[in-house]
Amino acid sequence: MEVTFQFDWAAAFGSIPHLLPGIPWTLIISFGGLAIGFFIGIFFGLLRISPLRWMRWPAILYIEVFRGTPILVQVLFIFYGLPQLLGGPINALTAGIAAIAVNSGAYISEVVRGGVQSIERGQREASLSLGLSRTQAFRYVIWPQALRRMIPPLGNQAIISIKDTSLFSVIGVGELVRQGQIYIATTFTALEVYFMVAMMYLAITWSLSIVLRLIENKGLVGQ
């Protein structure tokens, strides 16, 4: 018996209008989650390098827990588990954003820690020797430099988080993969549709890479 595979381009392109509504969801969940994750990351990243042990400890706990458990389990926990604790349902969008926020926050904490610790000790010493307080030294000298060094790993994390949102089809949020699944259920063109879904992720992540490269080139002037 002869089996022939046929990639149906018409079906592939025909799926685009049905997939497009997923893109805003994917973007809102990833960038909403990342924006919150960024602040979580700054908070725990700085706690993590505190000279005081009792401040470091909660940061280490947070990072280990959310970096050490799968994001799929985290989102299921938030969406299906937390409502039992809270006594009311959480909508899927909120759950998705929260999952990206706490998950990326754990990784970003480490990015922040690495960025700050990578600044040569002499920068702090020069600042202090000029009479700047420790807070001023951090704000005007250490942090601006650390932030620049954090751009590549932050971009990396953004790309990972964008792709992670594909898992959230399991909680029914209408992102790209979910839109694809709904469409395939009526057309049975899995090959073409998942191909187009993949292309759409690629378009998002590739655009982000280009933007990041521009920021990085600009930011590195004078380094």
Partner 1 sequence: MTERNSTETPIVRMEKVNKHFGSLHVLKDIDLDVKKGEVVVVIGASGSGKSTLIRCINGLEEFQQGHIQVDGKDLEPFGKSGKALQKIRTEVGMVFQQFNLFPHLSVLDNVILAPMKVRGWSRGDAVETADRLLERVGISDQAVKHPSQLSGGQQQRVALARALAMEPRLMLFDEPTSALDPEMIGEVLDAMRELAKEGMTMIIVTHEMGFAREVADRVVYIHLGEIAEVGPPERIFDQPDDDRTRSFLARVLKH
Burial (CB < 10 A; 0-12, 13-18, 19+), residue 135, is exposed
Which span (17-25, 31-39, 138-146, 166-174) binds partner 1, by CB under 8 A?
Answer: 138-146
Examine residue 50 and tell whether it contacts partner 1 (CB under 8 A). Answer: no
Examine residue 140 and tell whether it contacts partner 1 (CB under 8 A). Answer: yes
Examine residue 188 and tell whether it contacts partner 1 (CB under 8 A). Answer: no
Which of 16, 125, 190, 210 is the binder for partner 1 (CB under 8 A)? 125
Tokens at residue 87, please? 């006594």
Burial (CB < 10 A; 0-12, 13-18, 19+), residue 218, is exposed
Q: Please, which residue, 8 or 125, has the CB nearer to partner 1?
A: 125
- What is the CA angle 78-82-87, rounded to 5? 145
CA-based torsion, 20, 191, 171, 74: positive or negative: negative
Q: Please, which residue, 61 or 126, has the CB nearer to partner 1?
A: 126
Examine residue 221 and tell whether it contacts partner 1 (CB under 8 A). Answer: yes
Tokens at residue 91, please? 């909508």
Which of 11, 31, 123, 205 is the binder for partner 1 (CB under 8 A)? 123
Q: Please, which residue, 84 or 135, has the CB nearer to partner 1?
A: 135
End-to-end CA distance of the chain: 65
Q: Which residues bind partner 1 (CB under 8 A)?
A: 120, 122-123, 125-133, 136, 140-141, 144-145, 148, 221-223
